[in-house]
Amino acid sequence: MSDPILFARAFAAGVVTAAFVAWLLRWPWSVPHRRRTSLGYLLGMASATVVACRLLMVRPHWPPRVDQDRFLFVVLPSLFCVELAATLPMRPLLVWSLRFLLAGAAAPILLYGSVYVADSAGPGTRKWMPFQAVLVFFVLELALFIVWRLLAKLQQQTQSQVVPLAVALSCLGAAATVALSGYASIAGIGIALAAAVTGCTLAARMPRSSPHLDAVISLSAVGLFALVVVGHYFGNLTLGHAVALLVSPLLGWLPEWLPLQRLGSMGRGVSRLVLTTVPIAVVLALAYQQFVRDSARFAPSSRNEPSLQDYLDFGK
Amino acid sequence: MRRSVVRFAVALFLAGSFPSLSRAQTYEVDAMHTSVHFRVSHLGLSWTFGRFNDLSGAFRIDPADAGKCAFQMTIKTESIDTGNTKRDDHLRSPDFFNVKQFPLLSFKSTAVEAVKEGYAVTGDLTLHGTTKAVKFVLAGGRKAEFPKGIRRTGYTTELVLKRSDFEMDKMKDAIGDDVHITISFEGIEKAR
């Protein structure tokens, strides 16, 4: 599972699949059409996720009982339905209302039946009282919705393919950090998501393509959110690292606010990627240091047990 | 007065006819003298040993009728301990035990038969949210009083489980599918 060549192969297969399906379904020999293009992106991302997950041996179970199953079988299909609905002629307010609903449902779906919300270890053992759960889920909904909205706005404003690439980078960083913090198999989903987003972004660079990458931004934002949420609540990803990873692609707004006009669109695109990379690199370095420290540490319950030397010195 | 005498006679008759009714003993598992150890292959090169530190349980022994014996044990999966912090965190994650989703590992017997070594126990093992029937032989059953007035008995068993049977199937190329488990427990007889 932790084979870098396998990771690279799965990532490449995902990128090629997403790019090919997205390119094919937007009907490249006819006039570009926004709805058809969005449908192509959605199907491209779905097929890329399936291909990369299969190569990485991510095998979800049905019925979905754990976080990864629920993400792949419930959250992602719901997102695809919302984004499919978004391709229909409807007011943006209605589209964003659907997205807000999905943002609210994502965390409860991921944490369903866990010790946080269910008495799975016996009566009265849930960690969150009902009002606490509502509060936590509301904060998580707001966090996802704000990140999602800001990324979509940045993409809309800049019409730049760098924005989804930056989120794909954050997904890869989140996958690696969560894996280092003790939940290794999530790396497969992170790589699959990053490949799907990268592939569709490449398809958008092909001639006569549409720059409307709303669906790609949606998948990357919800995917990144899911990675940090399961990493924090099911693994050992710290809250600080989770927040830093979630907001890292938002640093792409800085070149819009700072006086960087003379850099040109290319320069600002590169600076967006660099700015996103900085917090990811810091978080990864810290997670790696913690990984090395913990790997060399005895478990607390074993720490006070006598060493071999203690036995040899017995009675001296 | 006459009714009381009849009741006493009936009780005496029942006790004589069904001695097992009066001889079943209920025990509470003594966690201090109980251990649940496991070993699992790492890359086929070595064995990694571990244990669970937080468990509880109870059992009923009826020497006259094994069918009336019953065993149940509950283990907190969070208490897994292989002696290394990072490995324990990984084992607690959704890659393996998923302790935030499935905090308990439990066993409850459904049938017990007397065999030469002790008891052949069949029961439902719930691990990783999946319940499967397992069968093993409990050897032991000697009794002791320690300290004075505290009556104890104990059993030991060994079994091998396939973790993939319980949908705990990640990283099977590195970490073996077969988990060898040794359980040794003592129970303290409950006051009747």
**What's the mean pLDDT in B72-98?**
94
Q: What is the pLDDT of residue A27?
A: 66
**Distance (Å, whole) CA A272 – CA A270:** 5
What is the complex's ipTM, to 2 decimals?
Answer: 0.86
CA distance A39 to chain B (A): 33
B94 and A59 in contact by Cβ < 8 A? no
Q: Give contacts of A294 with chain B, Cβ < 8 Å.
A: 85-86, 89
CA distance A248 to chain B (A): 25
Mutation to test the B interface, candidates A57, A180, A303, most B Cβ within 10 Å: A57
A186 and B94 in contact by Cβ < 8 A? yes
**Closest-CA residue of chain A to B169:** A59
Q: What is the DSSP string of B23-36?
A: H-EEEEE-GGG-EE
Q: Give contacts of A183 with chain B, Cβ < 8 Å.
A: 90, 93-95
**Closest-CA residue of chain A to B173:** A1
State the pLDDT confidence band at A258, using cuts at 50, 70 and 90: confident
Q: How many domains does chain A have?
A: 1
Helices A186-205 and A34-55: crossing angle in degrees, nearest 10, is 150
* Tens of pLDDT, residues A152-187: 999 988 888 889 999 999 999 999 999 999 899 999
Mean pLDDT over all residues of chain A?
Answer: 88
- Report if residue A312 sits inside a domain: no
Of A61, A234, A295, the CB nearest to B100: A234
- Report if residue A314 sits inside a domain: no
| 3-state DSSP assignment of residue A133 | helix
Q: What is the pLDDT of residue A210?
A: 62
B93 and A236 in contact by Cβ < 8 A? yes
B82 and A300 in contact by Cβ < 8 A? no
Element (H, E) at B159: strand B151-162
In this predicted structure, the answer to whether residue A8 has a pLDDT above a threshold of 70 is yes
A236 and B98 in contact by Cβ < 8 A? no
- Report if residue A84 sits inside a domain: yes
A66 and B101 in contact by Cβ < 8 A? yes
**Closest-CA residue of chain B to A125:** B103
Q: What is the pLDDT of residue A177?
A: 95
- Report if residue A283 sits inside a domain: yes
Q: Give contacts of B94 with chain A, Cβ < 8 Å.
A: 66-68, 183, 185-186, 230, 234-235
Q: What is the pLDDT of residue B167?
A: 92
State the pLDDT confidence band at A315, using cuts at 50, 70 and 90: very low
**Distance (Å, whole) CA A119 – CA A117:** 7
Range of the domain at A280: 4-295
Q: Give contacts of A66 with chain B, Cβ < 8 Å.
A: 94, 98, 101, 129
Strand bridging mode B80-81 / B118-127? unpaired
- Report if residue A316 sits inside a domain: no
The fraction of chain B above a pLDDT of 70, given in percent, is: 88
- Report if residue A10 sits inside a domain: yes
What φ, ψ does residue B77 adopt, rounded to 5°? -65, -25
Q: What is the pLDDT of residue A31?
A: 64
Specify the range with the lowest mean pLDDT, choosing from A153-157, B9-13, B39-43, B102-106: B9-13
**Closest-CA residue of chain B to A114:** B101
**Closest-CA residue of chain A to B129:** A65
**What's the mean pLDDT in A47-59?**
93
Q: What is the pLDDT of residue A308?
A: 63
**Distance (Å, whole) CA A158 – CA A178:** 31
Q: Give contacts of B88 with chain A, Cβ < 8 Å.
A: 299
Give chain B's domains with CATH numbers.
23-189 (2.40.128.110)
- Report if residue A238 sits inside a domain: yes
Sign of CA dihedral A157, A159, A161, A164: positive
**What's the mean pLDDT in A224-242?**
96
**Distance (Å, whole) CA B92 – CA A116:** 15
Q: Give residue for tokens 């009728």.
A: B65
Tell me which range, A85-99, A287-301, B68-82, is most confidently predicted by mean pLDDT: B68-82
**What's the mean pLDDT in B110-119?**
94
In this predicted structure, the answer to whether residue B10 has a pLDDT above a threshold of 60 is no
A120 and B103 in contact by Cβ < 8 A? yes
B101 and A291 in contact by Cβ < 8 A? no
State the pLDDT confidence band at B13, using cuts at 50, 70 and 90: very low
What φ, ψ does residue B85 adopt, rounded to 5°? -55, -50
- Report if residue A122 sits inside a domain: yes
* CA-closest candidate to residue A73, choices A94, A56, A58: A58
Q: What is the DSSP string of A209-232?
A: -----HHHHHHHHHHHHHHHHHHH
Alpha-carbon distances of A150 from A63, A163, A270, B139, rounded to whole Å: 34, 11, 19, 65
Q: What is the pLDDT of residue A4?
A: 86
Give A87 or A223, the one with higher predicted confidence.
Answer: A223
**Distance (Å, whole) CA A170 – CA B181:** 41
